[in-house]
Every structure is written in structure tokens, then in C-alpha cells.
Amino acid sequence: MVVSDDEVTLKVENLRAFYTSKKGLVRAVNNISFEIRKGESIGLFGESGAGKTSVALAIIGMFEQISRHFASTASNEESRKLWALKDDARKKGLAFNEMKEELPGVSGHIWFKGRDLATLDEKEYRKIRGNEITYVPQGTTKSLNPYSDIEEQSSEVLWAHDEDNELKEWQVMKRVLQTLDLVELGDVDIRKEMKPSQFSVGEDQRVLIAMALVSLPDLMIADEPTTAVDIGLQNRILDAIQIVRDELELSMLLISNNQGTMAKTCDRIGVMTAGHIVEFGDTQRVLNSPGHPFTRAFIMSNPSMEQIRKIREKGLRIRGIPGMPPDLSEAISGCPFSERCEYAQDICRERIPEYREVDEGYWILCHRYEELPAW
Ligand SMILES: Nc1ncnc2c1ncn2[C@@H]1O[C@H](COP(=O)(O)OP(=O)(O)OP(=O)(O)O)[C@@H](O)[C@H]1O
Ligand code: SF4
Ligand SMILES: [Mg+2]
């Protein structure tokens, strides 16, 4: 299917994002490409440490800031050296592809409404972040201010971006009430005056989603929106996300290691391990007939009831992924899953596979995809 540029909200091309550590570069995001169409919901699904949050931080222009901050508090010489080299290259005006060695930070392209965000400076980014692109971070509720009511906190988001003083008080209030209403918090006239401590964890999460919507963004990114809540609350949060999707027709990037969350909220998903997207396609296809050995192993390690039935029918066992994910501070020469893959052959350890579109709209990163047994 050919999609024209004006139907695409965000296009990420060959995105890399490298942290530093005392062992050198930490290659958290490696050559990732995907796009989010208008009104579409894309998921990043994968194991812990795969690089999902790092992709989100790169998109909202916070990756380098956070990475430098951690490097400075850890005070290790190697990190300092790498960031100094990066500063030096930047002073010389070198583009990433002109640098002689791999350096920390973000490279690649992040196209958003015709502009490449990867080239913006912090001042330009601030106009977009929290306004046209909003982010509900992982570990959520700590980002709410416990001392101010939610109406005040939500309005601040709008006032902060009203540089030309165009907004009227009644417009702000109306927008705040509309978005709080959308995430179904009960009687918003009463609840808007409450402070975060007066809400449950699941409600706090929905308040954060409402706050991320109040500016009517083009793209909302929600990072693990349902962790640390019980199944009932999970469903209410996911319902709120679905309502928002249908009502506002905004584009979304949802991050989770929970396949139920992906299945319920996403049109298409990318499966991540070791800084790579290894499989990308229609959510139902990827979850019901995964083609990549990592996706299969990841689903087998935590299957849904329906999948448990299928696994038993085939006489297989539910089991975790053997071994440990690769250390991202060591350069990987072959397939990022080769150390743990039951189908690995020499070629897998020697060469990184190409990211191939093996069916329309269905992408895979595996040398041996065509030879694997059917799922
Ligand atoms: N500030 C940092 N400095 C160095 N390495 C980091 C930093 N933050 C994350 N990493 C490393 O980068 C890799 C990707 O981390 P990231 O948080 O993006 O994974 P994730 O997929 O979001 O995991 P989770 O599901 O646990 O949230 C991990 O190996 C992690 O240890
Ligand atoms: S490329 Fe090889 S090691 Fe990697 S997933 Fe495919 S079969 Fe497994
Ligand atoms: Mg994360």
C-alpha cells in the first residue's frame, strides 16, 4: 500500500540512539525505521532493556539530555571522553555520517510534519514537546504534582505553550474539562478540583493521559501505560486509550511488554529486542502467527489463554527465553538474537540480517525466515 507523505504523522528512519557507560557506547537503539499514519496507533512490544523507552526519548528530543545527565552523575572517564568527542564534532559542524567513529546521542531521521526533528535545537523542540507531541512516561504518577489540583496542572500545559497569549481562560477550562471527561473520571466538575492523592493509581494514569491530550497533539506517546495496576484498572486505562483514539483521531505510539495491551490498542506493532525491531506488521498477524524466532519465544514465555491452548495442542511447553539478552555495550556483529535462538547458524552469528519486507506491510529481520517451521 502506498501512503502519501501527508497521511503520515511520524516517520522514523534509521534511528540510532547510543548512551555511554564506563565500558563505552551502549547501543540502545539500532537502525530502527517505522512510520505512524494519521489516526493510527503503533505499538513497540518487547522485553525489558530492548530499547523501547529510548526510542520514545529520541522522538521527544530528551535522549541526549537524559543520557548526559546519567553520564555526569556516574562520573566515569570513558563517558566523559565520548561526550567530549561528540561536542567537538558538533562544534565542527559535522553531520553524523561525516563523523569518523560512532559517537553517543541520536542519529538518523525523525520526520514530523515535514521537519526532521533530529536536526532541531532544544529551543525549537520545546515548542513541539508537550504540545504537538506529548509523552506519558513510564513509572507515571510520580510526574504529577501532589500539591496542585488536576485542573490547574492540566491548564498549565496549555498556558506554557501559549507564547502569543492567544488563549482565553474559558477556552483553557473548556479544553481541560473535555479531555478529563474523555478519560472517564466521573463527575469532572467535582474531580477537577481534586489533588493526585485523591485518585487511585489507575485514575492518576488516566489523568496523565488527559493531560497529554489537552493540547490536542498530533502524536501521543504512552510508555507502559498499564504497569503496576491490577487487571481491572488495566482494562479501564486501555478503554480510555481506545475512546481517545476514536474520538480524537490522533496518532499514538504505545510501548509495552504486555501483548494484551498491544492487541487491544494497536493497529500495527514492532517487536523489539536488543535495540532492534525484529518484526513489524499488523498486530493480529504478528501476535497470532509470529514469524520471528524472538517474537515466538517472547510470546511463549508469557502466553495468553488462547495461546496456551494452541501450545498444548502442539505438544509444546511454555518456557522462558533461554539465556540473557546481549550486553548492549558490546558491539554485536551478527543477528541480535543469535545467542539465544534455537535456529541460529553460522551466518546468523557473522552477519546482521537485513530488515526485509517479506509480505506487503510485513517486515522481518531474520536470515532464515523462509526456512523456519510454521507457527
Ligand atoms: N541513562 C542510561 N545510560 C546508559 N544506558 C542506559 C541508560 N538508560 C537505559 N540504558 C540501557 O539502554 C538499554 C535500553 O533501555 P530502555 O530503557 O530503552 O529499554 P526498555 O525496552 O524501555 O526496557 P523496559 O521494558 O525495562 O522499560 C538497556 O540496556 C539499558 O540498560
Ligand atoms: S537470523 Fe538466525 S539467529 Fe537471528 S533470528 Fe533468524 S534464525 Fe535466529
Ligand atoms: Mg522502558
- 225 has pLDDT over 80: yes
pTM: 0.93
Q: How confident is the model at residue 362 (pLDDT cuts 50, 70, 90)?
A: very high
Each domain of the chain, given as residue ranges in start order, spans 1-33+50-129
Residue 81 CA to its chain's centroid (Å)? 29
Is the distance from the beta carbon of residue 335 to the nearest atom of ligand 2 less than 6 Å? yes
In sequence order, the β-bridge partners of residue 276 are 273
* Closest ligand (CA of 273): 1
More confident residue, 9 or 229: 9
More confident residue, 4 or 55: 55
Q: How confident is the model at residue 305 (pLDDT cuts 50, 70, 90)?
A: confident
Is the distance from the beta carbon of residue 348 to the nearest atom of ligand 2 less than 6 Å? yes
Q: Which three cell numbers stand for residue 82?
A: 565520548
Q: Which three cell numbers stand for residue 302?
A: 508469557
Q: Which three cell numbers stand for residue 84?
A: 567530549
Q: Give me the helix-helix angle, 201-213 and 231-248, nearest 10°.
A: 20
> In this predicted structure, what is the pLDDT of residue 125?
94
Identify the DSSP state of 266. -
List phi, psi (to 5°) of 129. Answer: -65, 130
More confident residue, 284 or 209: 284
Residue 171 CA to its chain's centroid (Å)? 31
Is the distance from the beta carbon of residue 339 to the nearest atom of ligand 2 less than 6 Å? no
314 CA distance to ligand 2 middle (Å): 22
pLDDT tens digits, residue range 102-155?
Answer: 899 999 999 998 899 998 989 999 999 999 999 998 876 667 888 899 999 999
Region 183-190: what's the mean pLDDT? 83
- Give the mutation target among 15, 54, 226, 277 for probing the ligand 1 site: most ligand atoms within 8 A of CB: 54
> In this predicted structure, what is the pLDDT of residue 94?
75
pLDDT tens digits, residue range 29-81?
Answer: 999 999 999 999 999 999 999 999 999 999 999 999 999 988 888 778 889 99
CB atoms within 10 A of CB 70: 13
More confident residue, 199 or 355: 355
Q: How confident is the model at residue 89 (pLDDT cuts 50, 70, 90)?
A: confident
Counted residue by residue, the chain has a size of: 375
**Of 130, 266, 299, residue with least CA distance to 211:** 130
Residue with cell 564506563: 22
Name which residue sits closest to atom 1 of ligand 2, judged by CA: 366
Is the distance from the beta carbon of residue 352 to the nearest atom of ligand 2 less than 6 Å? no
List phi, psi (to 5°) of 220. Answer: -115, 130
> What string of DSSP letters covers 117-139?
GGG--HHHHHHHBTTTEEEE-TT
List phi, psi (to 5°) of 5. Answer: -55, -35
Report d(CA 375, CA 373) in Å as an integer: 6
Buried b (16+ CB within 10 A) or exposed e, 294-316: bbbbbbbeebeeebeeebeeeee
372 CA distance to ligand 1 middle (Å): 30
Mean pLDDT of all residues in the chain?
A: 90
Report d(CA 56, CA 58) in Å as an integer: 5
**Ligand 1 site: residues with CB under 6 angstroms?**
19, 21, 26, 28, 48-54, 66-67, 70, 138, 257, 328
